[in-house]
Structure 1
Amino acid sequence: MIDLDKIRAIDIHTHAEEPCGCHADDGYDDLQSTMAKYFGAPWSHPPTITETAAHYRAQNIAAVIFPVDAERETGYRRYKNEEVAELAAENSDVLIPFASIDPHKGKMGVREARRLVEHYRIKGFKFHPTFQGFYPNERFAYPLYEAIQEAGAIALFHTGQTGVGSGMRGGNGMRLKYSNPMYLDDVAVDFPDMKIIMAHPSFPWQEEALAVAQHKPNVYIDLSGWSPKYFPPILVRYANSILRKKVLFGSDWPMISPERWLADFEKIDIKDELRPDILKNNAARLLGMI
């Protein structure tokens, strides 16, 4: 159980990685090594969940952790949601499990989502429209959103340009258009009781993301995937004012470490009185921890 009084922050955005060698037949290791170069990540192979937990425990930070199910679009085998949940449960002092289900899986995905919430205490679901190849407001995804809303779980969507596939031939077949945050405006209207997190500064659609988060009370923004020193000025301005209760610390581990992100966050112009909310309290409220 996470002790909110003892941790200094909640990282709302970290990725679960499989043990070394599990992707030798499907190209995923090549994708990961290219991403590591893009982000300047200091590892030769991404850390396991157990290693991630140890790192966050040493940093005195809790973390939401999830896989990404993009089997249909990429051919990369997914990390089983059950295994992620089980490993998170073994490290429940620092890890909070989210799952990932490709919405193309239809009724099978809906059944899985309900089972994961009921039996594995999954708190939310990660979607990556560019990686999974769908617009978030496509109607075939709606039965899965209905299950998430009914369970009181959170839906976290990648938005904006992505480092995944960046620099690879044809961008590794990934189309950026799917991750325009404006498509989430429809989702927020049609599922007003589902908490939605728009992940990352949404380049090149930052103003669209801010507009949706300001207009829809169930929409939040996480600040992962970028060093804070590169945040657009308008994002900092909104974080300091009307969205001060709706922006969330996220690193995008293992591509960006939480200590690197936090060190850069110290240097940007965020009001001192708002830092505890951005780093911990906003996420704790959203996750139902307070």
Structure 2
Amino acid sequence: MYYDVHTHAFHPKIADKVLEQLHDHYGITAKGTGHPEDLLERATKAGLDRVVVHTAATAPDQVIPANNWSIDLAKSDERFITFGTMHPDYDDPEKEFAKLERHGIKGLKFHPDFQGFFMDEPKFYRLLEMVQGRFAVMFHVGDKLPPEKNPSCPIKLRKILDNFPKLTCIAAHMGGYCHWKWASEELAGYDVYMDTSSAIPFMDKQVLLDIMNKHPRERILFGSDYPLFDPEESLKELQHTLKLKDSEMEIHMSAADALFE
């Protein structure tokens, strides 16, 4: 199977609003509409078999609707693999985790920067105690602030990995958006997956090569960050930037099999 492990899709009623918010934050004009049908059409054109769709509850009262959306989306088409979400201030996480498990959801997405907490807060560690060994976890990592001031960063994620050895973890954006120097120092070569989403066009070439040389290729997963970027264009960019052979590209496109088999 060939995967795009980092995508987003939204209900048509809110898709335009979300894209506007993303543009305001990142200054990037989305390539896609954010609608599930558009995602599948673009993924198929790119030669991908499955897309992993992420959502993150930015407040406790969004947890249930966000997870219900993920459950319904996964049921709508076998090409969707959806991750659930949780917020550290939600009252009964165990009940929601059990619901996700009953519906076959195998992963969770956390975006500390948008969800309003720091990765090293005790309340978040209590959640991870419940999660490790049960769900794969996709972390948004990094942003425009320096690591010590940013809610997420490679340094904080390295501490999580040390404290939760049973946690199956994907560090988005090649280990940390705008934090690639620290991703190379703290995460490259460590027991963590990385994805290529929202990273390759913005990275210093030498830092990118350092990470690629240090980290196992089968632990680097292709991700486009649709709808900000188009999966086919992202695949071509990855191949061109790193001058990868087709066989090497297949490693990155199929490495997620280990997570979802």
The answer to which of 77-86 and 271-280 deviates more is 77-86
Alignment CA distance shift 1:51-1:120 (3 Å): farther
Whole-Å separation in 2 of the counterparts to 1:204 and 1:42: 21
1:112 aligns with 2:96: yes
Counterpart of 2:43? 56
1:116-154, Cα deviation, whole Å (9 max, x unpaired): 12x211111111111111111211112321222142x11
Alignment CA distance shift 1:278-1:240 (3 Å): farther
Alignment CA distance shift 1:58-1:267 (3 Å): closer
1:12 aligns with 2:5: yes
Counterpart of 1:137? 120
Question: Which secondary structure does the structure 2 equivalent of 1:88 belong to?
Answer: helix
Is the 8 Å Cα contact of residues 148 and 194 (structure 1) preserved in structure 2?
Answer: yes
Question: Which secondary structure does the structure 2 equivalent of 1:211 belong to?
Answer: helix
Whole-Å separation in 1 of the counterparts to 2:156 and 2:227: 27
Q: 1:40 aligns with which of 29, 42, 55?
A: 29
Whole-Å separation in 2 of the counterparts to 1:87 and 1:277: 27
Q: Structure 2: where are the runs of 5+ without partners?
A: none
1:265-286, Cα deviation, whole Å (9 max, x unpaired): 1211244253221222x2212x
Whole-Å separation in 2 of the counterparts to 1:113 and 1:150: 12
Task: Give, in angstroms, the shift of residue 98 of structure 1.
Answer: 0.5
1:74-112, Cα deviation, whole Å (9 max, x unpaired): x989852122222222211x211101111221x412321
Amino acid in structure 1 at the alignment position of 2:87: D
Amino acid in structure 2 at the alignment position of 1:156: M
Alignment CA distance shift 1:176-1:55 (3 Å): farther
1:5-25, Cα deviation, whole Å (9 max, x unpaired): xxxx311101121223x489x
Q: TM-score, normalised by structure 1?
A: 0.77
Counterpart of 2:211? 238
CA RMSD of aligned residues (A): 2.8
Task: Give, in angstroms, the shift of residue 206 of structure 1.
Answer: 1.3
Q: 2:56 aligns with which of 68, 76, 85?
A: 68
- Report 1:77-226 matches (<5 A): 79-92=65-78, 94-105=79-90, 107-117=91-101, 119-151=102-134, 153-161=135-143, 177-201=150-174, 202-214=176-188, 216-217=190-191, 219-226=192-199
Alignment CA distance shift 1:135-1:116 (3 Å): same
Is the 8 Å Cα contact of residues 56 and 66 (structure 2) preserved in structure 1?
Answer: no
1:28-61, Cα deviation, whole Å (9 max, x unpaired): 56414536x8223245xx3322432343234331
Whole-Å separation in 2 of the counterparts to 1:102 and 1:133: 9
1:139-197, Cα deviation, whole Å (9 max, x unpaired): 1112321222142x1111111126xxxxxxxx9xxx96112121112211121011111
Higher relative contact order (CA 8 A, sep 6+): 2
Question: Which secondary structure does the structure 1 equivalent of 2:34 belong to?
Answer: coil
Q: 2:222 aligns with which of 210, 224, 249?
A: 249
Number of residue pairs the alignment of both structures matches: 255
Is the 8 Å Cα contact of residues 11 and 63 (structure 1) preserved in structure 2?
Answer: yes
Q: TM-score, normalised by structure 2?
A: 0.85
Whole-Å separation in 2 of the counterparts to 1:28 and 1:79: 16
Alignment CA distance shift 1:190-1:241 (3 Å): closer
Is the 8 Å Cα contact of residues 85 and 110 (structure 2) preserved in structure 1?
Answer: yes
Alignment CA distance shift 1:265-1:81 (3 Å): same
Question: Which secondary structure does the structure 2 equivalent of 1:39 belong to?
Answer: coil
Q: Structure 1 vs Structure 2: percent identity of aligned residues?
A: 24
Amino acid in structure 2 at the alignment position of 1:133: G
